[in-house]
A = this chain, B = another copy of it.
Amino acid sequence: MKVAILPGDGIGPEIIDEAVKVLKALNLPLEMATAPVGGAAYAASGHPLPDATLALAREADAVLFGAVGDWKYDTLPRHLRPEQAILGLRKHLGLFANLRPAICYPQLTHASSLKPELVAGLDILIVRELTGDIYFGQPRGRRTAPDGAFAGAEEAFDTMRYSRPEIERIARVAFEAARRRHGGRGGKVTSVDKANVLETFQFWKDVVTEVHRDYPDVELEHMYVDNAAMQLVKAPKKFDVIVTGNMFGDILSDEAAMLTGSIGMLPSASLNERGQGLYEPSHGSAPDIAGQGIANPLATILSAAMMLRYSLQRPDAAARIEAAVQRVLADGLRTPDIHSDGTRRVGTAEMGDAVVRALS
């Protein structure tokens, strides 16, 4: 089993180190190879996603990704900025299905902005389509407005697009995930759209409704994106699986992650049709705390667990990591982002070491 390790920028290298430490401690037949990505790759070789890095990712069974982005690179032209690496990997590897759990860990309920009774026990899954929508739709650019009330003025434009097969395959991922979360049958999928305004999302709603015929045991509900943004704040536990497009998913998955209060704990998986996947923490590169040894490595360690489950067919090893993380939390170890009175403050490496110890 080949794993490409892409540490990236900011706290990326530190948190990846801990995840690699945990993977090594499992003594699995893993072949790990590291390559630069993001700002670090740009600094080294002039491009955020060098050909060699992309080639390594392509031939791997899975990619373990840290984080990219740093203020240093904010003034670069867009096609050279660190985020292009992640967009490029998604597109080139066809990683259309982004799975983002929003879980509120019992020990961390107090860290949420929301009242404890609203988030205690929260466990929802956001399935975000990741290779279509306005993120990649052509045409796009700047031009002189060809028509409309401001014809003749300078304008910029993008194209939102979804085709039937793109919607069908992500809908299936969501319905299957709902079943899996409920022992093989049942569960609920909330499909989030803006069918009252957008042609793309009226079509989305129609196709999701059609695909649902193959999953009669799963409940399907449709919700407008503005309402979904509200219901996540009001009653997040009413959701089970949320499925939506790339743009709405970007916003809602971050909103949901933040309201758990445990964003430093949340992994994510981005999968293609062949089961290849890219695994990364839900949080960003946090350049403000990089190099201080205080970043929380648990989201990355849990991303490695997702990798073992979804791309490497080792659910046993995944479960061992997850149990170990539960154990260190129960033991009261906390990085500064989740620290509270009565718990023990530890650094990045100490947390990784503790997870390794808890594996056995």
Contacts and interface: CB of A to CB of B under 8 A. Distances in A.
Interface stretch (A5-13, A198-206, A291-299, A325-333): A198-206
Interface stretch (A30-38, A55-63, A134-142, A180-188): A134-142
Among the interface residues A83, A135, A155, A203, which one has the most CB atoms of the partner chain B within 10 A? A155
A118 B259 CA distance: 13
A113 B202 contact: no
Contact of A229 (B150, B153, B198, B254): B254
Nearest to A137: B157
B230 A78 contact: no
Contact of A230 (B134, B247, B254): B254
Interface string A334-354: 000000000000000000000
- Chain A interface residue number, banded: 35 or more
Given A252-B229, A254-B229, A165 B142 contact: no
Given A113-B118, A203-B156, A254 B234 contact: no
Interface in A251-299: 251-255, 257-259, 263
A162 B166 contact: no
A159 interface: yes
Given A196-B81, A229-B251, A233-B113, A155 B164 contact: yes
A89 interface: no
Contact of A258 (B150, B234, B251, B258): B234
17 contacts: A87-B197, A114-B233, A134-B197, A141-B199, A145-B163, A155-B161, A155-B203, A157-B199, A159-B160, A160-B160, A225-B251, A226-B250, A226-B254, A230-B254, A233-B258, A233-B259, A251-B251
